[in-house]
Amino acid sequence: MASEATTLTVDGPNGPREMRISSPSRVLWPEPGITKLDLANYLVDVGEAFVAANGGRPITLQRFSENIDGEQFFSKNPPKGAPDFIRSVKVVYPSARTHPQLVIDEPAAAVWAAQMNTIVFHPWPSRADNSDNPDQLRIDLDPQPGTDFDDAVPAAIELKTVLAEAGLTAFIKTSGNRGLHVFAPIEATREFLDVRHAVIAAARELERRMPDKVTTAWWKEERGVKVFVDFNQANRDRTMAGAYSPRPLAHAPVSCPIEWDELESVDPRQFTILTVPERLKTTGDPWADMHSKPGTIDTLLGWWARDLDAGLGELPFPPDYPKMPGEPPRVQPSRAKKAAD
């Protein structure tokens, strides 16, 4: 018996490509019944905006064995048998190891990734031709237990003001879950550690202005019922779901760029694989001109230096990172207290 398969014609900068989709009727999101072919068609429909946001960057694919409830793994370098138009770029990881990482340059590459059972796309904040120097400052506003999307909204609005005072223009998208992602285009002249310090400076300023609502506490036991400003997403090889990337949640949400004047009225659950293509057709891409006027992180680094002088030092790095200069001990505060007692 012949295997079930279909072919999609995908337009792109190098002309149309015929992309094979095996098992097109496989259900990836059981609740709404969204299939592998539906996902591929979604990526075709949003292809131009998707590539504008995520293309030309090292990207990690979050792949699933069956559906969103099945086993998953992260794929960084192109697997054997990838089409010849799928390229990779060598990048340096925190361990100082160098490894090739996938790059998506056209919608057909995203459709190929869907054929390889990719659901979530995680682009780097730097370009493939300058991977050591981010051209995006990214801040993840992550609601903690007891808070939700509505708590992240005022934090995002105030963060926009903070970044504007630092000379940066902020763009925003839903995370696809309960949080919000705030981006600012920057000149690609500073390496990851500098950008991390700029993010910490902005996060601390936001925390000063909203001490009862947001926190920069890395340890969960210290965060309280607040929105966590996740500064560690600014580190090398740390990524978040890209703009227009699907998420592996029951209702098939999408991490969706929005306009700032929409923020206080949107329901992030409305942005799904089934609804976002029509939204793009009718309202356009809020991030279309993101990189037309990049700013610098000079002012934020000035704030970082000011805070250092005031006694506020480095913050913890992720646990898989090598020990970093000036980093506080990676010991959960309650355990450190217990050991001291």
pLDDT of amino acid 13: 93
pLDDT of amino acid 35: 98
CA distance 313 to 55: 35
Phi, psi of 149 (to 5 degrees): -55, -40
CA distance 321 to 329: 13
pLDDT of amino acid 115: 96
Per-residue pLDDT of the chain (341 residues), as tens digits, is 346 899 999 999 999 999 999 999 999 999 999 999 999 999 999 999 999 999 999 999 999 999 999 999 999 988 888 899 999 999 999 999 999 999 999 999 999 999 999 999 999 999 999 999 999 999 999 999 999 999 999 999 999 999 999 999 999 999 999 999 999 999 999 999 999 999 999 999 999 999 999 999 999 999 999 999 999 999 999 999 999 999 999 999 999 999 999 999 999 999 999 999 999 999 999 999 999 999 999 999 999 999 999 999 999 999 889 888 899 988 887 776 566 65
pLDDT of amino acid 339: 62
pLDDT of amino acid 2: 44
pLDDT of amino acid 3: 62
pLDDT of amino acid 97: 93
Residue 304 carries which side chain, given as an amino acid letter? W
pLDDT of amino acid 77: 86
**Long-range residue pairs from 13-21, CB within 8 A, at least 24 positions apart, any chain:** 13/105, 13/106, 14/85, 14/106, 17/85, 17/106, 17/108, 19/108, 19/111, 19/112, 19/115, 20/115, 21/111, 21/114, 21/115
- Is pTM beyond 0.75? Reply is yes
Residue 53 carries which side chain, given as an amino acid letter? A
pLDDT of amino acid 63: 97
